Chains A and B, each alone.
Chain A
Amino acid sequence: MHIPDGFLDTKTWVTTAAASSIAIAYAVRRANKELEEKDPPLMGVLAAFIFAAQMLNFPVAGGTSGHFLGAALAAILIGPWRAMLVMLAVVGVQAFLFGDGGISALGANVFNMAIIAPSVAYLVYGVIKRFSAPVAAFAAGLVSTVVTALVVAIELYLSGTAPLAITASLMTGWHIVIGAAEGLITATTVGYLARVRPDLIHGNTALDVRSIAVFSSISVALAVFLSPLASSFPDGLERVAHDIGFIDKATVLFNALIPDYAIPGLRNEWLATGLAGLLGVGIALGVGFGLAGIARRRQVGGETG
């Protein structure tokens, strides 16, 4: 899910970077309020914990494997604000030290994995927890993974890199499988900790679902409203190139090999995209809650924890 450089167009990476910066600045303020002196070392070690836990891979289907992502677990264990910063550190180190995810795409990757994923996870956990904590943890893992994948698909589509319908269905379908595993691991982990060290689970305290709901809506709204604004500016350098005329020569050269391309309706279908995105999120949420319902019914008959 780490988008490399070059896969997003200027408007998309600028928009997501702006939205991420604002959201992270707010998360830093919120986290700072809760932070005690011992917290930076603690959060750093927990970031290393998420990083190490991502090494745990599991077989998925047809010989492929997926690995644990950890955003949902972090949100449940240490609360949403600190989880965002921990995920930001993980994503940042992966970009700068491992080349995993691009530098220009860092804003988008942070947006997907450090803002959307923990927010969605925390919301889902907060809503379902009153019925059943393990089911809530499962749903948090599943839904956050699927929604994140869907957001990646939307970003690729908006950049003109991939068509929406197929990317979204491929990404969603695949990540329902990955997400189910993520959910199961998250639920087992939370269940295990609930027996062994219940004091370490932040999610056991009063959950502030409302402020995360507001926060994530504002973050998404920022991205959605900034995007058309950014796209009404022409792609910066490409415009300069056009103005001083050198692009034509180069384009002629390139067109001899591969004709110029156009994505039909990329700008006009803004509304359609938004609707499709919402629909996708709705479907993902529906599946999440549906599965959670089934799991819960089983839970009632079976053992607890």
Chain B
Amino acid sequence: MDSQHEHDHDDEIHFHDHAHGAVTHRHAHYHQHVHEEAADKELQETHRHTHTYSFELYSHADSPIHRLDARTKTIALVALIMAIVLTPAAEVWRFGLYFTAITLLYIIAGVPLTFGAKRSLIVLPFVLFAGVLLVFMPDKPHPEAYNLGFERYAITHGGLYTLFNALIKSWLSVLTTILLYSTTPFPKFVKGLELIRVPQVLTMLFSFLYRFMSVLTSEVKTMLRARDARAFGGSRIWHLKIIGQMVGSLFIRSYERAERVYAAMSARGYDGTIKTLEVPAFAMRDVVFTVLFFGTLSIILFWRL
């Protein structure tokens, strides 16, 4: 940990810029008491906080975008996705403008576009699936098509147009989603949802899912390793039965963990709501961002060529 200041207030939750791994960032954390002679390495181990997932590499960094209220960002980026999806595919240049705007946001946020590009490959399977289907796209008005030997079906211009439409829109939208989670820690996002009156059952579900995702995922990894070490050969059906039993025991472990978690929470005063240290509030920068963002968005949307 590259710490820029003295930790004179051990055990108190506080903020300061620091880095573990690649990115300098800022989030609430505390340090456990460390003796004077403790080496830096020990300091690192006593730094307590939560960011666990690889996709969260940038979510705790600091930038003008990171400092915005979660609600501002969520609404803006969802609006951007809606605009992208609603744009007629024929107007290719508009997608160029969207891409430029998204790139600009990435730069302001200090998130490398390559990070977004790498993670955006997730849309690929669905695009390939659609690619297979467009071979069969009937397109009667334009019979000149690349026939593959089927009588009724061939790659058509209509099909290519459809694929282009889906490809560009899904890719730009995924880039936007990645920007949202790379600039907004998930707990803040959920708090924002709560403030815009998403039912509390759902926001609680989101919070707990987020918290226990990694716990249970690593449990599954352990089980998979155990299985791979012991269960080889055998029939396909037998393997499926093994998975079934793994799911069963994972369920029991999850259930019992949930009961323990609930007991621990009740002991600490849980009353059905989640309390957070920071109460989000709109600031002047949210107003400025909203005006600039929606101004730009409407120019891209409605500007005539």
Contact = CB atoms under 8 A, between A and B. Distances in A.
Interface string B138-160: 11111000000000010011111
Interface in A43-57: 43-49, 51-53, 55-56
Interface of A: 2-7, 10, 13, 28, 31-32, 35, 37-38, 40-49, 51-53, 55-56, 58-59, 68, 73, 77, 85-86, 88-90, 92-93, 95-100, 102-104, 156, 160-163, 166-167, 170, 181, 184-193, 196-197, 200, 235-238, 240-241, 244-247, 249-251, 253-255, 258-264
Given A35-B201, A258-B161, A247 B208 contact: no
B207 A238 contact: no
A238 B88 contact: yes
A190 to B, nearest CB: 8
Interface residues of B, number: 105
Interface of B: 53, 55, 78, 81-82, 84-93, 119-120, 122-123, 126-127, 130, 132-134, 136-142, 153, 156-162, 164-170, 173-174, 176-178, 180-181, 186, 189, 199, 201-202, 204-213, 215-217, 219-221, 224, 236-237, 239-241, 243-252, 254-255, 257-259, 261-262, 265-266, 272, 301-302, 304-305
9 contacts: A4-B127, A48-B211, A52-B254, A53-B220, A68-B247, A102-B81, A104-B85, A188-B247, A264-B138
Contact of A250 (B84, B90, B167): B90
Given A96-B189, A190-B248, A191-B244, 10 more contacts: A3-B126, A51-B217, A55-B217, A56-B220, A58-B240, A96-B181, A100-B122, A185-B240, A196-B248, A246-B91
A68 B205 contact: no
B272 A189 contact: no
Contacts of B266: 38
Contacts of A58: 236, 239-240, 243
A4 B216 contact: no
B216 A48 contact: yes
Given A42-B255, A241-B88, A49 B158 contact: no
Contacts of A55: 217, 220-221, 224
Contact of B244 (A59, A186, A200, A245): A186
A98 B257 contact: no
Contact of B208 (A41, A160, A238): A41
Contacts of B272: 37, 40
A102 B173 contact: yes
Nearest to A249: B305
- Interface-centre pick from B123, B201, B216, B252 (highest chain A CB count, 10 A): B201
A51 B302 CA distance: 41
A21 to B, nearest CB: 11
B228 to A, nearest CB: 12
A161 B126 contact: no
B130 A7 contact: yes
